[in-house]
């Protein structure tokens, strides 16, 4: 009786999202990512003027500090004029980066995403709701083998099958959550990141702008690797469903344990590899904005 209740409870948890999905005809997880994407397009034009005002305020402080340094060092007027011209050129370039934010930051992230999509082609699934659907189908395939005869003849195996279905569903939920997290992260950077470029005008705060640029490349790397891992992994995972359906649940060659292990490994790869590689490639990057501001006075 306990086994039957466990199986029914897990089956109901797996079937409720499917029913809701069929009724709404709107993938919930995809909708979350799309809403952040649409919102980021509204944030950007609202924040650009704020970033420009912040930049001009900090630029005035930077020129005041430089003027004080030049005066204390008793630099010659021609040296001061040359350094002022260099600093003005650098500041104008940084301000142009804010004004043209839309034309260079989004293409970095979108370029990595386009590369990932082209690499996997059209056969892989990279949408969060698609990943959830694969996990639901796999879990339901496991539960479908737990008929009344299995529950009565081998309760322990029935409990194991129910737990296996739950673990598989949890693994695919983690993969989908990671995909949503990275996508939302990219949209937040594309929409709100321009504010941190406003800190580039002053040597003491230029690190915020440098970190934003490095972080943008890190997000792009995450998306690229996640597309590769999830795209291929979804193809492999779909092949497990007919394997479970055609195999004997109690047979010596039952693929149940391997499918559970494969689902967990798939989840670990999707979460661990993009974060680790992105941290290694972009974590120590520096663009020398603060150093350039100090170098010219």
Q: What integer pLDDT is reported at residue 248 of this predicted model?
A: 65
End-to-end CA distance of the chain: 80
Q: Give, in order, the Cα–Cα distances in Å from 29 to each of 19, 80, 195.
A: 15, 57, 28
The residue among 174 and 241 whose pLDDT is bigger is 174
Predicted confidence at residue 183, as pLDDT, reads 92
- Cα 55 to Cα 8: distance, rounded to the nearest angstrom: 60
Q: Tokens 């950077």 identify what position? A: 189
> Minimal CA–CA distance to 221: which of 269, 276, 265?
276
Tell me the average pLDDT of the chain. 83
pLDDT at position 251 is 57
Q: Is the pLDDT of residue 18 over 60?
A: no
Q: Does the predicted TM-score (pTM) go above 0.95?
A: no
pLDDT at 271: 93
For 70, 92, 266, 277, the CA distances from 271, given in Å and listed in that order, are: 51, 40, 9, 11
On whether the CB atoms of residues 240 and 138 are closer than 8 A, the answer is yes
User: Of 164, 165, 167, 179, which Cα lies nearest the Cα of 131?
Assistant: 179
Better-scored residue on pLDDT, 255 or 123:
255
Reported confidence tier of residue 10, pLDDT bands at 50, 70, 90: very low
Mean pLDDT of 226-239: 91
When pLDDT is averaged across residues 44-48 and rounded to a whole number, the result is 93
pLDDT of residue 247: 67
Q: What is the rounded distance in angstroms from the CA atom of residue 136 to the CA atom of residue 134?
A: 5
Burial class (CB in 10 A: 0-12, 13-18, 19+), 136: buried
Q: Please report, for the chain, the start and end positions of each structural domain, with discontinuous segments joined by +.
A: 2-21+28-295
Among 61-75, 84-98, 222-236, the range scoring the smallest mean pLDDT is: 61-75
State residue 256's pLDDT score: 80
| pLDDT above 50 (res 73) | yes
- Could you give the C-alpha distances from 158 to 150, 155, 169, 260, in angstroms and in order? 6, 5, 17, 15
């Amino acid at each position: 009786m306990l086994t039957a209740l466990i199986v029914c409870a897990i089956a109901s948890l797996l079937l409720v999202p499917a029913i809701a999905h069929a009724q709404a005809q709107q993938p919930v997880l995809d909708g979350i990512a799309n809403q952040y994407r649409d919102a980021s397009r509204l944030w950007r034009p609202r924040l650009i003027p704020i970033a420009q005002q912040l930049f001009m305020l900090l630029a005035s402080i930077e020129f005041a500090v430089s003027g004080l340094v030049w005066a204390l060092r008793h630099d010659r007027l021609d040296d001061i004029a040359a350094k002022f011209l260099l600093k003005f050129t650098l500041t104008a370039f940084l301000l142009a980066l804010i004004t043209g934010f839309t034309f260079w930051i989004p293409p970095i992230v979108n370029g990595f995403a386009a590369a990932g999509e082209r690499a996997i082609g059209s056969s892989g699934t990279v949408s969060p709701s698609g990943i959830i659907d694969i996990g639901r189908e796999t879990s339901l395939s496991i539960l479908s083998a737990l008929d009344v005869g299995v529950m009565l003849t081998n309760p322990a195996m029935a409990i194991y099958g129910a737990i296996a279905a739950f673990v598989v569903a949890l693994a695919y939920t983690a993969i989908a959550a990671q995909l949503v997290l990275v996508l939302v992260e990219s949209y937040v950077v594309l929409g709100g990141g321009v504010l941190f470029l406003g800190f580039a005008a002053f040597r003491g705060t230029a690190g915020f702008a440098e970190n934003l640029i490095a972080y943008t490349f890190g997000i792009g790397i995450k998306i690229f690797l996640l597309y590769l891992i999830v795209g291929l992994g979804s193809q492999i995972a779909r092949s497990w469903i007919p394997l479970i359906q055609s195999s004997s649940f109690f047979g010596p060659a039952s693929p149940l344990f391997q499918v559970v292990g494969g689902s967990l490994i798939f989840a670990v790869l999707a979460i661990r590899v993009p974060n680790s590689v992105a941290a290694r490639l972009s974590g120590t990057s520096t663009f020398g904005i603060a150093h350039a501001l100090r170098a010219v006075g």
